[in-house]
Amino acid sequence: MDPLIIQDHYEIDYRHSYAEDSPFFVALTKGKLLGSRCTACGYTYATPRSHCMECGAPTSWHELPLAGRVHTYTTCHYGGELFLKETPFTLILVEFDGADTLFLSRLKGVPTPTHPSGAPIAPPDAMGHEGEGQGGGGVYIGMPVVARFAKTPSFKVTDVWFEPA
Amino acid sequence: MRPVYMISGGITKFAKAHPDKDFRLMVKQAYDYALRDVPKFSKDMIDGAVGSYFSDHFTRQLKAASMAQDYLGLCPKPSKRIEGGGATGGLCFQSAWEAVASGRMNCCVAFGFETMSRVNTWKGNEFIALASDTNFDFPVGGFYTGYYAMMVRRHMHEYGTTVEQMAMVSVKNHMNALYNPYAQKAKRLTIKQVRESPMVATPLTMEDICTMSDGAAVCILASEEVTAKVCNRPVTVTGVGSGSDAMRMADRPHGKVILLPHERESDYAHLKYPGVHSFRGGRMAAKLAYQMAGIRNPIEELSFVELHDAYTSSEIQTYEDLGLCKYGEGGKFVESGVPFMPGVDYGLELPKQGRLPVNPSGGLLACGHPVGATGLMQAVFAFWQLQGTIKKHLGNDRLQVKNPKRGLIHSHAGTGTYITVSILEAP
């Protein structure tokens, strides 16, 4: 016989603590971007961690500049189910002067190409070459960007995003 | 440590969905196939098993490996589950190797499976993205293709890698799979078709990315004593290595290259490594495996490679991590034709076609990627290659590498967070 297939719903709310990372999320509500600096070796992280990955010593909070540059980027025309309705969106890794590592964020305020029907399409630079439209409708590696902050915080990392400087 | 042999293997066909069989039955079918291939072997010779599956979200059955263990009739023998993202299968293989190499077991079964068809593709992508930092990465738009797209964009920037070179990987692997009846998605493609398929995350299109899959695979590893009794053509596992990197790719350092024996520091005087363009964990895994197997120059000493091509871009990046070419030369390496199968017409001009076939099976891109089974599937294909039994198992010998001496299998998790490399050698 044909296999019997049923629908099986699954939903849950977690009680999630940001724990030692909490100051980062609170700082976003004040328009500040906090990284970490190692108290022993000085290694500076653009995404915070309370102990240094290089030497193991504790880090201290370190305020990052609000201006940085695009280290790399992509425009997502599909995504996980949770983010599918937000496509197309552009992800970037941001590099900052004075920080040794990067920060993942969204780039907004740069037009992303869509098909007139609204369907996800191959963007104008379907061949994806550097310097030919860049696949994100104008974003490029090295592009100066500035941080913007949500007026009404959701206490998520998406309370900060970047726009062209 | 003592020598470890692979004496048999089995796989199910990888498919979008197998609604007619659950994970236990899939594992059982792969297991029975492996047992039939060594008729003198008996179940009493098995000392224990290691089971692998990636995601409790996909399975929605915790302790699922215990259910496979009892279904195979292996209780009350030792058993455990191995989980390590995309590298789950490769880690499982190495865990079984450890059991035999240490002398704890004379024979250990490694089985793996995944049933990804139970949710839609986009929910599946969400589940997979939960294997990125859920504080800092996932909420931004958690999507693995997006992560890999950013990594290859940087690779293109550093080295001039092109999307056509990436598309060549897709053409190669999908066409190899035309001769592999176990593959999920075999087809003839052109570079143009790869580029014109729907854009997923620039610059990666649908044909640059592997698919979700249901499937299972089994490997049987044994000591010299057991092997001598049951197997005429055992394959020796001569090297294992693994490596790791920071969960968040934003945290990766920009330092010095980990060198392989045939490389010099001056090769990479200006390269900041690994950044997000290379997989430091893959390089570490390769270095350790080569060291154990006594490999000095992989391109000269390997006969074929089955590597974790979840994306065409990551196949190119992995050529470099494995030292098949220098960092920065991955795009040119595929263009040269070296990693293609000899004797197959790909519709491409390939001056050095077939010198070192990579993913003769079709890889993840064409076979599919039922995560917990994938790394073991690679071991099974490598085993058949080295035994010279591809024709027997695939029904044709188009993918049989001629007189192979040594094969490499490579399994890869996350954005390069766990990576395994194992070296197998012919009888």
* pLDDT tens string B319-365: 999 999 999 999 999 999 999 999 999 999 999 999 999 999 999 99
- Peptide bond connecting B370 to the previous residue in cis, omega within 30 degrees of 0: no
A134 pLDDT above the threshold of 70: no
Nearest-Cα residue of chain B relative to residue A154: B139
Q: Which residues contact A69 (CB under 8 A, 6 or more apart)?
A: A94, A95, A96, A142, A143, A144, A145
A81 pLDDT above the threshold of 90: yes
Q: Are B355 and B324 in contact (CB under 8 A)?
A: no
Q: How far apart are CA B253 and CA A140, in angstroms?
A: 22
Can you tell me the mean pLDDT for A145-151?
98
Q: How far apart are CA A37 and CA A46, in angstroms?
A: 9
- pLDDT of A137 reads 66
Q: Which residues of chain B have pLDDT under 50?
A: none
A103: which chain B residues are within 8 Å (Cβ-Cβ)? 250
Q: What angle do the packed helices B88-101 and B371-387 form, to 10 degrees?
A: 60
Could you read off the pLDDT of A37-79 as tens digits, one per residue? 999 999 999 999 999 999 999 999 999 999 999 999 999 999 9
Tokens describing residue B352: 């050095």
Q: Which residues contact A82 (CB under 8 A, 6 or more apart)?
A: B126, B142
Q: How far apart are CA B205 and CA A126, in angstroms?
A: 9
B208: which chain A residues are within 8 Å (Cβ-Cβ)? none
B264 burial level (CB within 10 Å; 0-12, 13-18, 19+)? exposed
CB contact under 8 A, A122 and B251: no
Of B19, B198, B201, which is closest to A74 when you measure between CB atoms?
Answer: B201
Nearest-Cα residue of chain B relative to residue A36: B251
> What b/e readout covers B358-395, taking b as 16+ CB neighbours within 10 angstroms?
bbbbbbbbbbbbbbbbbbbbbbbbbbbbbbbebeebbe
- pLDDT of B272 reads 96
A115 pLDDT above the threshold of 60: no
Nearest-Cα residue of chain B relative to residue A21: B135
Could you read off the pLDDT of A1-40 as tens digits, one per residue? 999 999 999 899 999 999 999 999 999 999 999 999 999 9
pTM: 0.96
Range of weakest confidence among A77-86, A112-121, A134-143, B183-192: A112-121
Band of the pLDDT at A113, cuts 50, 70, 90? low
A144 pLDDT above the threshold of 50: yes
Least Cα separation, residue B160 to chain A (angstroms): 9
> What b/e readout covers B306-338, taking b as 16+ CB neighbours within 10 angstroms?
bbbbbbbbbbbbbbbbbbbbbbbbbbbbbbbbb
- pLDDT of A128 reads 44
Band of the pLDDT at A111, cuts 50, 70, 90? confident
- pLDDT of A112 reads 62
